[in-house]
A and B are shown apart, each in its own frame.
Chain A
Amino acid sequence: MMSVVGHTPPPFFKRGPTPLARLTFFTTLAIILLVADLRFHTLEWARLVLATVAWPMQRVARMPVEGAEGAGQYFASLARLQQENVALRARSLATANQLLRQEHLEQENRRLRALLDMKERQPTEGRVAEILYAARDPFSRRVVIDKGLQAGIAAGQAVIDDLGVIGQVTRVFPLMAEVTLLTDKDQAIPVQVRRNGLRAVAAGAGVGGIELRFLAANAEVQVGDVLVTSGLDGLYLPGLPVARVAHIDRDNSYAFARIRCEPIAGVERHGHVLVLGSRVVPPRPEEQTAPGDKPTKGRKVKKAAR
Chain B
Amino acid sequence: MNQPTHHSNRLLLPARGWFITATLALALFLNLVPLGRLPFVPDWVALMLTFWCIHQPVKVGMGTAFILGLAMDVVDASIMGQHVLAYVLLAFVGCGLSRRILWFPLLLQAAHVLPMLLTSQLVMLLARMTGGAEFPGLLWFASSFVAAALWHPLTYLLLLPQYRPVERDDNRPI
A residues near B, CB below 8 A? 1-8, 10-11, 19, 22-23, 26-27, 29-38, 43, 46-47, 50-51, 54, 57-58, 60-62, 64-65, 132-140, 142, 144, 171, 178, 184-186, 206-207
B145 contacts the other chain (Cβ, under 8 Å)? no
Given A26-B88, A47-B74, check contact A138 B140 (CB 8 Å). Answer: yes
Beyond the given A7-B14, A34-B82, A46-B80, could you list 18 further A-B residue pairs with CB under 8 A, ordered by the A residue number? Answer: A3-B56, A3-B98, A3-B102, A5-B3, A8-B58, A22-B63, A23-B88, A27-B89, A32-B81, A34-B127, A47-B80, A50-B70, A51-B75, A58-B34, A60-B29, A65-B33, A140-B77, A185-B134
Given A65-B35, A139-B128, A140-B133, check contact A5 B4 (CB 8 Å). Answer: yes
Q: Which A residues are CB-close (under 8 A) to B71?
A: 50, 54
**In the bound complex, how far is the Cα of B131 from the Cα of A207, in angstroms?**
18
**In the bound complex, how far is the Cα of B132 from the Cα of A206, in angstroms?**
12
B43 nearest in chain A by CB position: A136
Q: Which of B5-13, B111-119, B150-158 contacts A (4 or more CB under 8 A)?
A: B5-13
Q: Which B residues are CB-close (under 8 A) to A137?
A: 76-78
Q: Which A residues are CB-close (under 8 A) to B135?
A: 206
> Which B residues between 30 and 72 are near A, CB-CB below 8 angstroms?
30-37, 55-58, 61-63, 65-66, 69-71
B84 contacts the other chain (Cβ, under 8 Å)? yes
Nearest CB on B from A254, distance (A): 21
**In the bound complex, how far is the Cα of B112 from the Cα of A99, in angstroms?**
64
> Which B residues between 74 and 114 are near A, CB-CB below 8 angstroms?
74-82, 84-85, 88-89, 92, 95-96, 98-99, 102
**In the bound complex, how far is the Cα of B62 from the Cα of A19, in angstroms?**
9
Interface size on B, residues (CB 8 A): 64
B85 and A136 contacting across the interface, CB-CB below 8 Å: no
B65 nearest in chain A by CB position: A26
**In the bound complex, how far is the Cα of B136 from the Cα of A184, in angstroms?**
11
Nearest CB on B from A284, distance (A): 29
Q: Which B residues are CB-close (under 8 A) to A138?
A: 37, 136-137, 140
Q: Which A residues are CB-close (under 8 A) to B98?
A: 3
**In the bound complex, how far is the Cα of B86 from the Cα of A26, in angstroms?**
11
Q: Which A residues are CB-close (under 8 A) to B74?
A: 47, 50-51, 54
Nearest CB on B from A139, distance (A): 4
A37 and B81 contacting across the interface, CB-CB below 8 Å: yes
**In the bound complex, how far is the Cα of B73 from the Cα of A65, in angstroms?**
22
